Chain A
Amino acid sequence: MIYLDNAATSGAKPREVKNAVNYALNYLSANPGRSGHKASFDAANAVFSVRSKVHKLFNSESENSVCFVGNCTAAINYVLQGNLGQGDHILISSLEHNAVYRPLFSMAQDGRITFDVVNIDVNSPDTCVSEFERKIKNNTKMIFVTAASNVTGTKLPLKQLGLLCKQKNIMFAVDAAQAAGHIEINMKELGIDFLCVAAHKGLFAPMGTGILIADKPIKNVIIKGGTGVDSMNPIQPEILPEGVESGTLNVPGICGIGGGIDFLKRIEKVKPLQQEKQLLSNLYYGLRRIGAELYTDDPSREIYLPVLSFNIKARSGEETARYLASKNIAVRGGFHCAPLAHKTIGTADRGTVRVSPSFLNYSEEIEKLLYYIKKL
């Protein structure tokens, strides 16, 4: 199979990840942070060592900021539902995933909050900053944006938005599902208060691994329960990370995150992002030659991560993806859980085909994809 769906989850898990998961299953089957026996301490030390790696990778405040959760969507919900209260206003971009949009929509339906969507030019995202500034109200509590669109790969100007939030004294939260592991995200430098990570994508960890990195408190934790701390107190502790990590942790998955970060360090020198963007650029010009509908500029431009959407002839994205699946080529078709993004690029009626290679793909595989699309 030719796997080109890495924006959904990284297709090939490296040996560092497999070894770390395997080690955890063999030697760390005990509950970290709950008991005082050696096996529990071994598991706790292993979890802490991954917290430490994550903290260093994203330059968060400390290891205490790093909370392990089930997925990026859970991390986003902790931020939104944990920090927005009655009467608060929030600004988001027009490229947000349903992980952000649906919780906000629901909170707005309940009359708890209001929100506005700032339109993003997918080929000139920097122009959005003044629009964000214009839409800030007295009760605006947070700006929440994706680091990069899961439909177009467009990167948002995090540095400028972080600065704006600092100037206006509002919280800045970022959905790094597509960006973490691909580009450097330095929380302190970018002024990010909350970073949500899908570790199974750019960090190559197993599925079911998400990270919430919170450099500010989470005031109302949505999942409450046992934390191994202050057990006789019926009130959920606010202390991080334990306050957000009720229930038993996914130790094998967390160890897999550590393995993924080790892998990223090993491959640093081969410049994976550059390779992925080159592959997509080749695809882009191939698609252009055969008259495909494209919604962005050349993917090799600095403003994009390696995600490309297109359509061919009058087909829907889903139809084209199904055809390619029949040729053993894995891409994603449809709306990618991002209705706002499709409204932004004008594809709300038929979605797109999304191609997201990894540096492990070959240029011959991109040529094969083009070959089958030409035959349509």
Chain B
Amino acid sequence: MNGNMIITGTITYAIRGRDILRNNSYRASVERNLTGNKRYGCGYGISVIGDIDKAVQILREHNIKILDIAPQI
């Protein structure tokens, strides 16, 4: 099942965000950003399966910088 990619840009935000989402019972993993690669250059994102809006809200509450949200390729 394809989920969504929350593009954070940096690996540090991606790992922080992944851990926060996992603590909130999400299936989340850090991946290389393929979806927004042309727009954002190199970088990372969090692959998430589940309620993406809620996941984004949780991450924002923890000051995780989010560049974009895109369907996972």
Contact = CB atoms under 8 A, between A and B. Distances in A.
Contact of A231 (B15, B42, B44): B42
B43 A228 contact: yes
Contact of B30 (A41, A230, A231): A41
B11 interface: yes
A111 interface: no
A138 interface: no
- Shortest 3 CB-CB contacts between residues of A and residues of B: A36-B32, A33-B11, A231-B41
A33 B42 CA distance: 10
B32 A64 contact: no
A242 interface: yes
Contacts of A230: 9, 40-43
A51 B30 contact: no
Contacts of B63: 62
Interface string A227-255: 11111110001010110000000000000
B10 A232 contact: no
A228 B15 contact: no
- Chain B binding surface SS class: mixed
A263 interface: no
Interface residues of B, number: 17
B65 interface: yes
B68 to A, nearest CB: 13
Contacts of B13: 64
Contacts of B40: 230
A113 B5 CA distance: 46
A206 B9 CA distance: 30
Q: Report the interface size class on chain A.
A: 20 to 34
Interface of B: 9-13, 15-16, 30-32, 40-44, 63, 65
A258 B33 CA distance: 28
Contact of A64 (B16, B30, B31, B44): B16
Contacts of A227: 10
Given A63-B12, A228-B11, 7 more contacts: A33-B10, A48-B11, A48-B15, A51-B12, A228-B42, A239-B9, A242-B12
A33 B32 CA distance: 9
B32 A229 contact: no
- Chain A binding surface SS class: loop
A44 interface: yes
28 contacts: A33-B10, A33-B11, A34-B42, A35-B32, A36-B31, A41-B30, A44-B11, A48-B11, A48-B12, A48-B15, A51-B12, A62-B16, A62-B63, A63-B12, A64-B12, A227-B10, A228-B10, A228-B11, A228-B42, A229-B10, A229-B41, A230-B43, A231-B42, A232-B41, A233-B41, A239-B9, A239-B65, A242-B10
A227 B41 CA distance: 11
A230 B10 CA distance: 9
Nearest to A226: B42
A265 to B, nearest CB: 21
Interface of A: 32-36, 41, 44-45, 48, 51, 62-64, 227-233, 237, 239, 241-242
Nearest to A239: B10
A230 B43 CA distance: 7
A45 B31 contact: no
B37 to A, nearest CB: 10
A36 B31 CA distance: 7
A229 B41 CA distance: 7
Contacts of B11: 32-33, 44, 48, 228, 242
B42 to A, nearest CB: 4
A248 to B, nearest CB: 13
B52 to A, nearest CB: 21
Nearest to A41: B30
Contacts of A233: 41
Contacts of B15: 44-45, 48
